[in-house]
Amino acid sequence: MKIAVCSAHPYDRQFLQEANATFGHELSFFDARLNEETRQMVAGFPAICAFVNDTLNEAVLQALAQQGTQLIALRCAGFNNVDLAAAARHGIRIVRVPAYSPHSIAEHTLALILTLNRKTHRAYNRVRDGNFSLDGLLGFELRGRTIGIIGTGRIGLATAEILRGFGCRLLAHDPYPNPECLALGARYVTLDELYRESDLITLHCPLNQESFHLINAAAIGKMKRGVTIINTSRGAVIDTPAVIAALKSGRIGGLGLDVYEQEGDLFFQDLSCQVIQDDMFERLLSFPNVLITGHQGFFTAEALASIARTTLDNVRVFEQSGLCPNEVTTALVR
């Protein structure tokens, strides 16, 4: 099938081309993101391969349908950037990669936790500068700490497995408790109890109506003073101004982010020679106890190979049968 790959980086080309050796699709790569201004570049492609910051709203989907697109193959798990109702109205089917390597994101979550806690990023710079002072590098032991996990699907569970190995006490919150998480010894509690008890809270729920700005001033007000918050899910699960206020007051003692609500204007590009216009993002960067990575939780060789295989297979199955094993519909939003 003819597939337009949007937001294509060198690593996307590499892994999709390698996987395509066994599928034989006709791949065309576009560096640009898909949005209302760029939609014409993919005119005539029956399938479009999109990523997290491509815009798939009503206007874009309507235009794509008119241009002949039948299928959008997301090369990611999250689908909050797609207006699913509009896709259905315009007869465009959406498929995704529901599970590639939850361990990639779980392990990155641990990288954020350990770096933030033991301040290895700051120590690295100090030691290179001949500064061997330990002042300001004090951490805490994870063993025996209470960790609150919000969202215990694939990534939340993989994170729980690792944290259990560290000897943490696990609290969990999810409208659908996961038996495997229970088997690890996690206790499902209300959000209020999780906020009250947790030394560290890690977010692994999708972005939906219930989780939008879940971590806001009211929620933070219920947390332990000095709590650490880690977000590798989606940026808008956190209300950034509320978190900035809590960092300033010391209510939040550490913040590790792999995602950011306005990341669409920043991430996946080199802006190192430009003036960043996002003042909220710059304020976050100014805190010594904030660590931000640019949505790289998924970025392992294993995950990229698996994403490429599943994406191309989703298109193959659609082309051959019109069925989509990994189809996303409004029924999936819970």
Nearer Cβ to ligand NAD (183/273): 183
Contact between 198 and 146 under an 8 Å Cβ cutoff? The reply is yes
Residue 4 to residue 16: CA distance in whole angstroms: 12
Q: Tell me how far apart the alpha carbons of residues 321 and 310 are, in angstroms, rounded to a whole number.
A: 16
Q: Which is nearer to ligand NAD, 46 or 294 (CB)?
A: 294
Minimum distance from residue 152 beta carbon to ligand NAD (Å): 6
Nearer to ligand NAD, 228 or 232 (CB): 232
Work out how close the CB of 124 gets to ligand NAD at its nearest, in angstroms, rounded to a whole number: 23
Active site residues: 234, 263, 295
* Single residue of 150, 252, 307, 328 touching ligand NAD by CB under 6 A: 150
Q: What are phi and psi of 243, to 5 degrees?
A: -70, -40
Using rule CB under 6 A, residue 105 touches ligand NAD: yes
Query: Candidates 17-25, 88-96, 199-207, 221-229 — which segment interacts with ligand NAD by CB under 6 A?
Result: 199-207
- Nearest Cα neighbor of 96 from 45, 36, 56 is 56
Q: Whose CB is nearest to ligand NAD?
A: 153
Residue 59: Cβ-neighbour burial (10 angstroms; 0-12, 13-18, 19+)? middle
Q: Considering only residues 68 through 87, tell me which ones interact with ligand NAD, judged by CB under 6 A.
A: 77-78
Kindly state the tokens that stand for 242.
Answer: 């509320």
Strands 26-29 and 169-173: unpaired
List the one residue out of 199, 87, 193, 106 whose CA is nearest residue 157.
106
Q: Which is nearer to ligand NAD, 96 or 119 (CB)?
A: 96
User: Which of the residues 14 through 73 are near ligand NAD (CB under 6 A)?
Assistant: none
Nearest CA-CA partner of 110 in 46, 20, 204, 29: 204
Tokens standing for residue 51: 């990523």
DSSP lists the bridge partners of residue 47 as 3, 71
**Chain-centre distance of CA 8, in angstroms?**
18
Give me the DSSP letters along 312-329. HHHHHHHHHHS--TTB--
Rounded Cα gap, residues 36 and 54, in angstroms: 10
**Binds ligand NAD by CB under 6 A, chosen from 258, 261, 263, 313:** 258
Residue 258 CA to its chain's centroid (Å) = 7
Which stretch in 66-74, 121-129, 144-152, 323-331 sits in contact with ligand NAD by CB under 6 A?
144-152
Judged by CB, which is closer to ligand NAD: 20, or 233? 233
CA distance 152 to 172: 7
The answer to whether 294 contacts ligand NAD (rule: CB under 6 A) is no
Binding window for ligand NAD (CB under 6 A); candidates: 2-10, 12-20, 232-240, 249-257: 232-240
Shortest spacing between CB 99 and ligand NAD, in angstroms:
6
Least separation, in Å, of the C-beta of 67 and ligand NAD?
A: 28
153 interacts with ligand NAD by CB under 6 A: yes
| DSSP-derived secondary structure letter, 40 | G
Region near ligand NAD per CB under 6 A, out of 6-14, 24-32, 145-153, 304-312: 145-153
Number of chain positions touching ligand NAD (CB under 6 A): 30
Out of 154, 224, 251, 309, name the contact with ligand NAD by CB under 6 A: 154
DSSP string, 252-287: EEEEEES--TTGGGTTTS--TTS----HHHHHHHT-
Please answer whether residues 310 and 100 qualify as being in contact, where contact means their C-beta atoms are separated by less than 8 angstroms.
yes
132 binds ligand NAD (CB under 6 A): no
Least distance between ligand NAD and beta carbon 140 (Å): 25
Q: Which residues bind ligand NAD (CB under 6 A)?
A: 77-78, 102, 105, 150-156, 173-176, 204-208, 210-211, 232-234, 258-259, 295, 297-298
